[in-house]
């Protein structure tokens, strides 16, 4: 019947949700922004679990709520497919490879190699590289978010507050959010 | 030991709860909790772990939480820390997934998030300065920093390439 295809309910097995996200977690390098396109390819393109439109909604929630990007989208896709158990399985899938791999490195490989000269040399180069990536992330976020003077002044003001007062970053974030409610009011985000 | 595990869980729960928008949003929070508040790691140990977390597959925060958790509290610590970082996502989505989209798209919430992310930019910038003091210690490391910074601003590549370049430059420029 032609109508049944349109009303087809999504009944993916929990195992298939788990395996899909295990694969994403185990083989995708480069963090959240690199993982999202892979998830999209997997669940929109190959598996057809969610439509392009649904995935766009998932991304809006993913980026506007607390938590890691890959994790937030995996949980939402799991929920759409199989409710709460699906969400738990999605979270488990995308984070288990991280835990297993990093535990193996932290417990076995790192202590074994950390005093090696070449490993020291690698970390000597990695540290400034990581700091460069952090600085570059600050610049790129600023370029994307701080439109106009109100944003730049808010950011600069909070930088001064953070440097001088040495308060916990959570407090700085909350002050930023509260000031944002007023400073950005009436702004057209489209 | 139980007290340490509880602190780990609570610290990483805060990291998960206040990381909004992903990317390097977790760096200032992790730095504050792990280095300043609890003194679990030195700045250079922290940077080494972030580098390892970048080189390995999976979400960087979960990778870092696992490694830091192991360093502080062994296998139990690694599980507790990674559980802490995923708890806020799991709880919010399982309980509120139907209403989250309308909450996030509410203009007041949008402005709150924009303000919070403006603060985040200041914090990430500050973290790059404080962590830079332990990473950029001589002319070769200053050159590596400048090179990777310019390259990452000019080219939108997977961060893994920049990490690999840093490792390679370290091997070449290190005074053995």
CB spacing of B22 vs A68 below 8 angstroms: yes
**Considering Cα of A13, then A99, then A23, then A79, what sign does the dihedral take?**
positive
Most A CBs within 10 Å, among B16, B18, B58, B92, to test the A interface: B58
Long-range CB pairs of B146-154 (<8 Å, 24+ gap) are: B146/A132, B147/A132, B148/A128, B148/A129, B148/A132, B148/A133, B148/A136, B149/A132, B149/A135, B149/A136, B152/A132, B152/A133, B152/A136, B153/A136, B153/A139, B153/A140
Cα torsion at B19, A40, A38, B58 (round to 10°)? Answer: 30
Q: State which residue of chain B sits closest to A119, comparing Cα positions.
A: B171
Longest CA–CA span in chain B (Å) reads: 57
CB A102, CB B66: distance < 8 Å: yes
- The answer to whether A42 contacts chain B (CB < 8 Å) is no
- Please tell me the predicted confidence (pLDDT) of residue A186: 65
Residue with tokens 């600069």: A156
Gap from A86 CA to chain B (nearest CA, Å):
10
Q: How confident is the model at residue A12 (pLDDT cuts 50, 70, 90)?
A: confident
Mean local confidence (pLDDT), A123-127: 97
B94: alpha, beta or left? (left if phi > 0; alpha if psi -120 to 50): alpha
Q: How confident is the model at residue A9 (pLDDT cuts 50, 70, 90)?
A: low
CA distance B73 to B49: 15
Give the model confidence (pLDDT) of A134-184 as tens digits: 999 999 989 988 877 888 899 999 999 999 998 999 999 999 999 999 888
User: What tokens appear for B129 in the block?
Assistant: 């300065």
- Please tell me the predicted confidence (pLDDT) of residue A1: 40
CB spacing of B118 vs A79 below 8 angstroms: no
CA distance A165 to A66: 25
Mean pLDDT over each residue of chain A, to the nearest integer: 90
Complex ipTM: 0.94
Gap from A4 CA to chain B (nearest CA, Å):
26
Gap from B75 CA to chain A (nearest CA, Å):
7
| Three-state SS letters, chain A | CHHHHHCCCCCCCHHHHHHHHHHHHHHCCCCHHHHHHHHHHHHHHHCCCCCHHHHHHHHHHHHHCECCHHHHHHHHHHHHHHHHHHHHHHHHHHHHHHHHHHHHHHHHHHHHHCCCHHHHHHHHHHHHHHHHHHHHHHHHHHHHHCCHHHHHHHHHHHHHHHHHHCCCHHHHHHHHHHHHHHHCCCCCCC
Residue with tokens 């570059």: A136
Give the model confidence (pLDDT) of B18-28 as tens digits: 998 777 899 99
- Please tell me the predicted confidence (pLDDT) of residue B122: 95
Q: State which residue of chain B sits closest to A38, comparing Cα positions.
A: B58
Gap from A81 CA to chain B (nearest CA, Å):
13
- The answer to whether A93 contacts chain B (CB < 8 Å) is no
- Please tell me the predicted confidence (pLDDT) of residue A148: 77
Identity of the residue in A71, A138, A187 whose CB atom sits nearest the CB atom of B125: A138
Backbone angles phi, psi at B20, to 5 degrees: -120, 120
- What SS3 state is found at B74? helix
Contacts with B118 (C-beta within 8 Å, 6 or more apart), sequence order:
A145, A146, A151, A154, A155, A158, A176, A180
Give the model confidence (pLDDT) of B104-131 as tens digits: 989 999 999 989 999 999 999 999 999 9
Give the model confidence (pLDDT) of B31-89 as tens digits: 999 999 999 999 999 999 999 999 999 999 999 999 999 999 999 999 999 999 999 99
CB A19, CB A42: distance < 8 Å: no
Boundaries of every domain in chain A: 8-113, 146-190
Q: Is the pLDDT of residue A6 over 60?
A: no
- The answer to whether A122 contacts chain B (CB < 8 Å) is yes
Identity of the residue in B88, B116, B166 whose CB atom sits nearest the CB atom of A128: B166
Give the model confidence (pLDDT) of A71-118 as tens digits: 999 999 999 999 999 999 999 999 999 999 999 999 999 999 989 999
CA distance A38 to A132: 25
CA distance A144 to B69: 33
Contacts with B33 (C-beta within 8 Å, 6 or more apart), sequence order:
B11, B12, B14, B15
């Amino acid at each position: 019947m032609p109508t049944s295809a349109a009303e087809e309910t999504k009944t993916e097995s929990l195992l298939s949700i788990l395996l899909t996200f295990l694969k994403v977690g185990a083989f995708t390098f480069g963090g959240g922004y690199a993982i999202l396109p892979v998830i999209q390819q997997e669940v929109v393109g190959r598996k057809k679990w969610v439509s392009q439109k649904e995935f766009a909604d998932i991304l809006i929630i993913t980026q506007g709520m607390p938590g890691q990007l890959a994790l937030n989208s995996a949980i939402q896709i799991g929920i759409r497919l199989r409710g709460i158990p699906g969400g738990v399985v999605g979270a488990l899938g995308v984070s288990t490879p991280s835990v297993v791999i990093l535990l193996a490195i932290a417990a076995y490989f790192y202590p074994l190699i950390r005093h090696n000269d070449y490993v020291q040399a690698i970390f000597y180069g990695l540290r400034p590289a990581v700091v460069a990536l952090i600085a570059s992330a600050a610049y790129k976020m600023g370029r994307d978010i701080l439109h106009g003077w109100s944003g730049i002044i808010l950011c600069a003001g909070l930088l001064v507050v953070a440097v001088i007062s040495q308060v916990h970053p959570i407090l700085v974030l909350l002050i930023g959010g509260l000031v944002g409610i007023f400073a950005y009011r009436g702004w057209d985000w489209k | 030991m139980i007290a340490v595990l509880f602190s780990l869980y609570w610290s990483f729960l805060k990291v998960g709860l206040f990381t909004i928008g992903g990317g390097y949003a977790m760096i200032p929070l992790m730095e504050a909790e792990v280095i300043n508040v609890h003194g679990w790691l030195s700045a250079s140990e922290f940077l080494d772990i972030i580098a390892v977390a970048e080189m390995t597959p999976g979400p960087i925060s979960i990778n870092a939480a696992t490694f830091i958790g192991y360093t502080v509290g062994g296998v139990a610590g690694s599980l507790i820390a990674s559980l802490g970082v995923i708890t806020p996502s799991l709880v919010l989505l399982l309980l509120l997934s139907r209403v989250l989209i309308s909450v996030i798209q509410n203009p007041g919430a949008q402005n709150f998030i924009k303000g919070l992310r403006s603060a985040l930019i200041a914090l990430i910038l500050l973290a790059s300065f404080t962590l830079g003091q332990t990473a950029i210690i001589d002319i070769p490391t200053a050159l590596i920093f400048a090179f990777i910074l310019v390259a990452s601003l000019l080219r939108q590549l997977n961060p893994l390439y920049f990490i690999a370049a840093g490792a390679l430059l370290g091997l070449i420029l290190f005074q053995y």
